[in-house]
Homo-oligomer: A and B are copies of this chain.
Amino acid sequence: MRKVSRTIWVAALLFCCISVSVAAEHKPRARDLGVPFDGNPGPLNAITDVKGVEVGHTTLISGEGALKVGVGPVRTGVTAILPRGKNSRDAVFAGYFSLNGNGEMTGAHWVEDSGFLDGPVMITNTHSVGVVRDAVIRWKVKRGDADAEGYWWSLPVVAETWDGDLNDINGFHVTAEDAIHALDSAHAGPVEEGNVGGGTGMICNEFKGGVGTSSRTLSTKDGGYTVGVLVQCNYGEREQLRIAGINVGREIPAQKIWKEDTGSIIVVVATDAPLIPTQLKRMARRVTLGLGRDGSYSGNGSGDLFIAFSTANPGAIGPKGLHPITMMPNDELNPLFLATVQATEEAVVNAMVAAETMTGINNHKVIALPHDQLRAILKKYNRLVH
């Protein structure tokens, strides 16, 4: 199976590359559909608007039909977010928040106490967190980050959401190589959204979900900083979905899946504003307010875990000796807090807009958010921008 998977995956990747280049022209995002959002996005409206941030995906799609555990069908993957890019070995200040802990984000204990994120943030499916975690260490070892005697350790940050409704999750199809590929293929520029990377088999508000991203740039008066958000969106109940404040979900009753909120959402917030860990933790907590705008009530089964980091203050983690740091005053954080809320709100909608209808294990089919219906509903409520 492995080999087949590889072959198909390479094909998928090639296809993906092509579709991306085409996408620049054709694949609409939420704003393109006339959905109104507040605030000013950066040039890419993506987490990569924060200079240095790179994102890579490994997408695994193969097989169809009845579930045969260990064989497939496979609908999963890995996403890597590298705060300073894959060639940097510097850490970033960071903070995290757990809105609902029914999920995994390894490495969080040390983010909390050290105030640093030292390495990438990886996102995959629930049952592949372990392989991806150890693979990040392999990747570091391969790059020679450990000292000669091996006196060195690592506590990678790996998060997850559950794709077992479409993917043979108990088949453990993600490999160390898949994780390393996501790291090695990370890049600046536009971020692929929808059915890619860790988001491949995800479901959001009972529509096909996956990866979404958005950004905000602050005015010069507010410091001119950028806030970028990336979500792996797998949470929500159709009935509660709000887009632009309108209960869109309620007006598209077709092909619902769950009886209640089942799923999770991982949110990564990046900024170039010089925030210390205490401030980044507060920023991570604001993600909740963005999800509130989208109608989330964070169900019991949801693993809603958020991490925020700042690319400012390079070199803060070392070497020995006192470190000069630059810090925003707490009194000036409001525009960053608001930007976090706004970019989260939009990234979730972007994930649904980008994702495409998918059929997975046992022919489970999850429909994409129908763009035309979305527009019609927004128009009905006088909320369509164009």
Contacts and interface: CB of A to CB of B under 8 A. Distances in A.
A40 interface: no
A9 interface: no
Interface SS majority for chain A: mixed
Contacts of A293: 242, 292-293, 295
A260 interface: yes
Interface residues on A, range: 35 or more
B114 A109 contact: no
A316 B327 contact: yes
Contacts of A109: 98, 101-105, 108, 303, 305
Given A242-B245, A290-B292, A337 B297 contact: yes
Contact of A131 (B130, B164, B247, B317): B130
Contacts of A71: none
Contact of A274 (B115, B151, B298, B322): B322
Interface of A: 38, 67, 69, 98-116, 126-135, 137-138, 141, 146, 149-155, 158, 162, 164-165, 168-170, 172, 240, 242, 244-247, 260-261, 274, 276-279, 282, 285-286, 288-293, 295-301, 303, 305, 316-334, 337-338, 340-341, 361-362, 380-383
A282 B100 contact: yes
B113 A337 contact: no
B129 A154 contact: no
B146 A170 contact: yes
A243 to B, nearest CB: 9
Given A106-B104, A110-B101, A130-B130, A150 B69 contact: yes
A317 B320 CA distance: 26
B127 A154 contact: yes
A276 B276 CA distance: 8
A168 B155 contact: no
Given A104-B109, A115-B278, A67 B149 contact: yes
Contacts of A290: 292
B138 A134 contact: no
Contact of A333 (B38, B245, B300, B381): B300
Given A150-B164, A318-B331, A381-B382, 16 more contacts: A99-B285, A100-B282, A100-B285, A104-B107, A115-B279, A129-B133, A146-B170, A153-B169, A240-B338, A244-B245, A261-B334, A276-B325, A300-B334, A318-B329, A319-B329, A323-B328
A203 to B, nearest CB: 12
A349 to B, nearest CB: 13
A101 B279 CA distance: 12
B102 A114 contact: yes
B170 A141 contact: yes
